[in-house]
Structure 1
Amino acid sequence: MIEFAHPEFLILLPLPLLIIWLAPAYKERKPSVKVPYFARLVDVTGEKPESGAVLLSRNNIQRFFIALAWLCLVTAMTKPEKIGPAIEQQKSARDLMVAVDLSGSMSVEDFTLENNKTVDRLSAVKQVLATFAQHREHDRLGLILFGDAPYLQAPFTADITTWLTLLNESEIGMAGQSTAFGDAIGLAISVFESSETKNRVLIALTDGNDTGSKVPPIEAAKVAARYDIKIYTIAIGDPTAVGEEKVDLDVLQQMSDITGGKSFQALNREELQQVYQEINIMEPQLFDSLSFRPRTSIHHYPIILFASIYLISLSLVSLRFYIKRKRLKTLKSANEVN
């Protein structure tokens, strides 16, 4: 199918007819020969004397080529486009931010992998998050790392491979030893502000209580609720710990309740994996299906046709004059022989 990007230029098609109708005929002065028997010549030929000008005329072939050339130029100006078959694309309908605690307590080795190898909390989180991320191919994932302060490690992206690479590059203590949990929520809110997706989810994972945020976690959760951000909090590690390493489960529960999310507690790798499976069930993947038809401009084809017509016409005119000169030369040679 072909469509015109600028069909308004089609109004120019009758312009040559309008010019022929309104504009006077072109007259060109030519030299003439005076003869004493001009009046007798007029009587013989029956022609009526007029002013010294000749009206040039064109044959039908010339008229056809001129009309076709004008049609090509106007068609090129309308910019014809070839419309291809419909193509469907799937676009993410959810932005999902993951906030990971990198405080010193994440180095405690109290998680066991499938091969019974004991690893620190961050290593277990990385492994489980890798499985979780690979099942979210229709969501845009972001990553915030926090300790003394929060840092945006990865903005929202649909490139899961790059997101996992940035997660694996994170190390315990690289953001400091404390837990600025409330500030991490605040940073997530500011990132979500630039997001066009209305379905917004934050998964916040920590193994300690807030120790120095400028904004308390509860207040940050209230602001998140106003921005329609749903928070899922995950507490990991030993619940009997004391001091900064003790997780404030009540605060995490309140944050989830305020935003319409849910609070979880994971004491080992199996429970952590189960948490992400539950989140997958509660927050199934969303995507928008977009359909479009590719457009390819073909305005150059009328221009090529116009150029071809011009070259062919020029060649035919040159050939015509060449044959005419050759005939005259032949006749002249025959007359000289006679």
Structure 2
Amino acid sequence: MFEGIEFLNKAFFWLFLTLPIAVLWYVLKHKKQTAQLKMSSLKGFSTSGSILPKLRHLLFALRLVALACIIVALARPRTVDVSTKTKKTRGIDIVMAIDVSASMLAKDLKPNRLEALKEVASEFIKGRPNDRIGIVEYAGEAYTKTPITSDKNIVLRSLNDIKYNTIIEGGTAIGMGLATAVNRLKDSKAKSKIIILLTDGVNNSGTINPKIASELAIEFGIKTYTIGLGSNGMALSPIALRPNGQFQYGRVQVEIDEVLLKEIAQVTGGKYFRATNNKKLEQIYDEINKLEKTEIEEFKYYNYQEKFRFFVYIAGLLLLLEFILRYTVFRSFI
């Protein structure tokens, strides 16, 4: 009955404590008003089969229910209809530049660097519902996997489809990856433009110098967060390709050009991170998520509908019914 109803003056519910007191008062008063006469026999009196004398207590019950309705009305019940309107500001455009070279299959992160990245990056994407995101793949060369889009399902599918392949030229072209990401963002009208550049190696191929790509990012107002992915020391990495097409793994020294990555982040206004394990990688994306927030304005509109009148009407009808019965049907018994 009260589902979806709130009470503005809940303190009036304390008045319900008066109802048991009223019942006790009625019982005591009724006993005092009932006279007793002792007789040896009732054979000389004819008895009536009417149940009206027994029903006279109905009058008090009607008054009691009327009082309960008045208390509920005083508590001021009302329904609240809340409508929400969200005003989105121009969000953040983000391009994730992901290294897909063979070294990303190293097993120092579980199950390997690439799969660990995909898992963490997917959660990052899901946590940015109001931003547009794109994906750039690079190894010895770079290309756009997904242009910036607000359709997160497309971005997530593209991320999930990223695998090492021999179509892209081998190597690590950090400059090419960064420049391609800049190209996707240079015409963006977003209030903030971000590149998250991830690599596990050193720049050893490509036709664009990373420093030139950094200057392009600065020119177009694009902030770059760089992530060096890989444990310290040796890592179990692909070292050769077997005749059956599978990689042969061996212990390889992890080499990440942290000086370059720090410089790219610094000059573009971003930050450099080093992810040595799955947990650290997750923390890095969480930190980037906190650093880059999209402002959203939310307006709530409240529509109140007062419901106390219903209980006032019920109380009035009950009191009227009690009055009519008291001076008609039960007049002879009161």
**Percent of aligned positions that are identical:** 30
The answer on 1:260 being equivalent to 2:255 is no
Partner residue, 1:166? 158
Q: 1:120 aligned to 112, 133, 145, which one?
A: 112
Q: Which moved more, 1:232-241 or 1:159-168?
A: 232-241
The answer on 1:189 being equivalent to 2:176 is no
Q: Distance in 1 between matches of 2:101 and 2:296?
A: 35
Q: Distance in 2 between matches of 1:286 and 1:202?
A: 19
The answer on 1:104 being equivalent to 2:102 is yes
Task: Give the superposition deviation at 1:178.
Answer: 0.9
Partner residue, 2:313? none
3-state DSSP of counterpart to 2:224: strand
Counterpart code for 1:216? N
Q: Distance in 2 between matches of 1:257 and 1:98?
A: 18
Task: Give the superposition deviation at 1:197.
Answer: 1.4
Counterparts of 1:159-308 in structure 2, within 5 Å, are: 159-173=151-165, 174-240=167-233, 246-287=255-296
Contact 2:131 2:150 in 1 (8 A): yes
Task: Give the superposition deviation at 1:262.
Answer: 0.3
Counterpart code for 1:99? A
Q: Distance in 2 between matches of 1:289 and 1:192?
A: 28
Partner residue, 2:79? none
Decide whether aligned partners of structure 1 residues 289 and 179 sit closer, same or farther in structure 2, where only a CA change above 3 A counts.
farther
Contact 2:139 2:168 in 1 (8 A): yes
3-state DSSP of counterpart to 1:111: coil
Counterpart code for 2:103? S
- Runs (4+) off by over 2 Å: 86-92, 173-177, 238-245, 285-290
3-state DSSP of counterpart to 2:260: helix
Partner residue, 2:245? none
**How many residues were matched structurally?**
200
Decide whether aligned partners of structure 1 residues 240 and 218 sit closer, same or farther in structure 2, where only a CA change above 3 A counts.
farther
Contact 1:92 1:140 in 2 (8 A): no
Contact 1:266 1:272 in 2 (8 A): yes
3-state DSSP of counterpart to 1:99: strand
Counterpart code for 2:96? V
Partner residue, 1:90? 88
Contact 1:211 1:244 in 2 (8 A): no
Task: Give the superposition deviation at 1:100.
Answer: 0.5
Structure having the higher strand fraction is 2
Q: Larger RCO: Structure 1 or Structure 2 (Cα < 8 Å, ≥ 6 residues apart)?
A: 2
Contact 2:100 2:138 in 1 (8 A): yes
Decide whether aligned partners of structure 1 residues 286 and 216 sit closer, same or farther in structure 2, where only a CA change above 3 A counts.
farther
Q: Distance in 2 between matches of 1:244 and 1:91?
A: 46
Decide whether aligned partners of structure 1 residues 152 and 220 sit closer, same or farther in structure 2, where only a CA change above 3 A counts.
same
Counterparts of 1:60-79 in structure 2, within 5 Å, are: none
Counterpart code for 2:264? M
TM-score, reference length from structure 1: 0.55
Q: 2:127 aligned to 130, 135, 141, which one?
A: 135
Cα-Cα RMSD? 2.5
TM-score, reference length from structure 2: 0.56
Q: Distance in 1 between matches of 2:147 and 2:138?
A: 15
5+ long unaligned stretches in structure 1: 1-85, 113-118, 291-338
Counterpart code for 1:260? G
